[in-house]
Structure 1
Amino acid sequence: MAIEVFNRYENKYLMDTKAFYKIYNDLMEYMEPDEHNKDDKFYTISNLYYDTEHHSLIRNSLSKPKYREKLRIRAYGVPEADAKVYLELKKKVFGLVNKRRTSLKLDEAYDFVGTKAAPEFRKGMNQQVISEIEYFLSRYDLKPATYLAYDRIALFCKGNRDLRITFDTNIRSRRHDLKLEAGDYGEQLMERGQWLMEVKAEKTVPVWLAHMLSEHGLYRTSFSKYGNEYKKSIRSTYAASSIHLPTEQPLFEKERISL
């Protein structure tokens, strides 16, 4: 059964393809591929993010408050209308990521967010999570805002499933045709050949991993896929209208790790 409630810390690192292969090969001494990557293949994750008319959720998130939240529908690959997807409520409190999700059919997820009325409960749904999402929806008037997809390789630590490392590449997005079933196409969010590594752990990372990150010269990065897509879209809007964007913020910021 898929895990539906997560509480963990997530640290992110950006790298090029050469750096990816180096650390991936070293990680294989301690970790093993996710079942979807057993044949050395990527799997594709597609997401539909919801926001208010004035993008208040992502704007609040980008201001880096102590508490932030977002809602999305997540699918693996390109789903059919009756395919199983996940409706996810993601929160971040003082650096701790809390993700709560429930499986629904794609059309049920659309209806739930669109009408704010929870679907009739049936086996396979998480009633507690549905109630929390229903409350969240009562606080906002949401609409589809952004489609994001990427190709992923995921690893689990041997003997410690609480430690997970993912590598995402070919991150693409669009702000039109906002249906998951419409295909996983979109404009590139980063330059080709770039990878986003995420280290996900319930507690601190093991010493061997901290040393490995240091040896590879990797530093924590503040990078939100949805947040950077929003900043990129805002810049495109200003550029198209020939209006100067008042504050130019970097797409990501590096942070050195103390070992």
Structure 2
Amino acid sequence: MNYQTTFKRYELKYLLTPAQKALILQVMQPHMALDRYGRTAIRNIYFDTENFRLIRRSLEKPAYKEKLRIRSYRAVGPCDDVFVELKKKYRSVVYKRRLVLPQNTAISCFRTGTSLPVHSQIASEIDYFRSYYQPLFPTVFLSYEREAYAPLEDGDFRVTFDENILYRTHHFSLSSELRGTPLLSPGQTLMELKTSGGIPLWMSHALTVGKIYQTSFSKYGSAYQNLLAQGGIQYA
């Protein structure tokens, strides 16, 4: 496993009806296939300040924004590897810095405020972020079921479909079951197109035919706005 990863790409988001998803899957068939992970159940723990400074700033749609999370692609035990991710966005380009650590090590470092036990540029960036915004707390647990597609031929264009997106503000464990409050309407799917360049012409044509339009959708941001609307967030 690669224990350090850096991504730089565009991530375009679309909310699909069942009919629109069926259309996209049909059009994709000659060009793409499920990646080696197939359908996964992704779990995320998002970290923020006590007054939700990071997500409030992100929702203001600045030129630059950032977020920090710990993620797994299945239910994991205390000693299983998870991903510590620093995700940044500058003028529509997404930059992701990612480290792999055992869940108990990552959670312990975040709980105690100690540095990550890795000597690398990515670890230094994550530790600086944590120091700059300290203290950080686990604020939202987000889970969803994902189908990820990769091209049949060479290329970095990827398509993901996220469904059953749930959030909660307790039981922050990547070992836990998928439960919480839904973010999408019944039958909806969040599709993301991920690319470092352009969208293939066949996909652009399918979006036009299906009247599928790009949207701005942040899972963490939507969870925060729901909590705010329901009075689930109280500021000191």
TM-score (structure 2 length as normaliser): 0.93
Q: Which one-letter code corresponds to 1:22 in the other structure? A: L
* 2:109 maps to 1:112: yes
User: Secondary structure at 1:205's aligned position in 2?
Assistant: coil
User: Secondary structure at 1:221's aligned position in 2?
Assistant: coil
Q: Which one-letter code corresponds to 1:15 in the other structure? A: L
CA distance in structure 2 between the aligned counterparts of 1:89 and 1:120, rounded to whole angstroms: 16
1:189 to 183, 186, 209: 183
1:219 to 213, 217, 220: 213
CA distance in structure 2 between the aligned counterparts of 1:16 and 1:212, rounded to whole angstroms: 14
- In the alignment, is the contact (CA less than 8 A) between 1:16 and 1:195 conserved in 2? yes
CA distance in structure 2 between the aligned counterparts of 1:187 and 1:135, rounded to whole angstroms: 33
* 2:75 maps to 1:81: no
Match of 1:251 in 2: none
User: Secondary structure at 2:157's aligned position in 1?
Assistant: strand
How far off its partner does 1:112 sit? 2.1
* 1:31-70 alignment runs, 5 A limit: 31-37=32-38, 42-70=39-67
Q: Which one-letter code corresponds to 2:190 in the other structure? A: L
Structure 1 residues without counterparts, runs of 5 or longer: 242-259
Match of 1:254 in 2: none
How far off its partner does 1:26 sit? 1.3
User: Secondary structure at 2:199's aligned position in 1?
Assistant: coil
CA distance in structure 1 between the aligned counterparts of 2:18 and 2:142, rounded to whole angstroms: 21
- In the alignment, is the contact (CA less than 8 A) between 1:12 and 1:222 conserved in 2? yes
- In the alignment, is the contact (CA less than 8 A) between 1:166 and 1:197 conserved in 2? yes
CA RMSD across the alignment = 1.7
- In the alignment, is the contact (CA less than 8 A) between 1:77 and 1:184 conserved in 2? no
CA distance in structure 2 between the aligned counterparts of 1:183 and 1:106, rounded to whole angstroms: 16
* 2:136 maps to 1:136: no
Q: Which one-letter code corresponds to 2:42 in the other structure? A: I
Bigger RCO of structures 1 and 2 (CA < 8 A, at least 6 apart): 2
Instruction: Write the deviation string for residues 50-96 of structure 1: whole angstroms up to 9, x where unpaired.
Output: 00000000000000000000000000121111110000000000110
* 2:95 maps to 1:98: yes
Match of 1:256 in 2: none
Match of 1:9 in 2: 10
Q: Which one-letter code corresponds to 1:221 in the other structure? A: T
1:159 to 153, 159, 179: 153
Q: Return structure 1 stretches of 4+ with deviation > 4 angstroms.
A: none
2:192 to 189, 195, 198: 198
Match of 1:20 in 2: 21
CA distance in structure 1 between the aligned counterparts of 2:174 and 2:17, rounded to whole angstroms: 28
CA distance in structure 2 between the aligned counterparts of 1:127 and 1:184, rounded to whole angstroms: 33
Q: Which one-letter code corresponds to 1:192 in the other structure? A: P
TM-score (structure 1 length as normaliser): 0.85
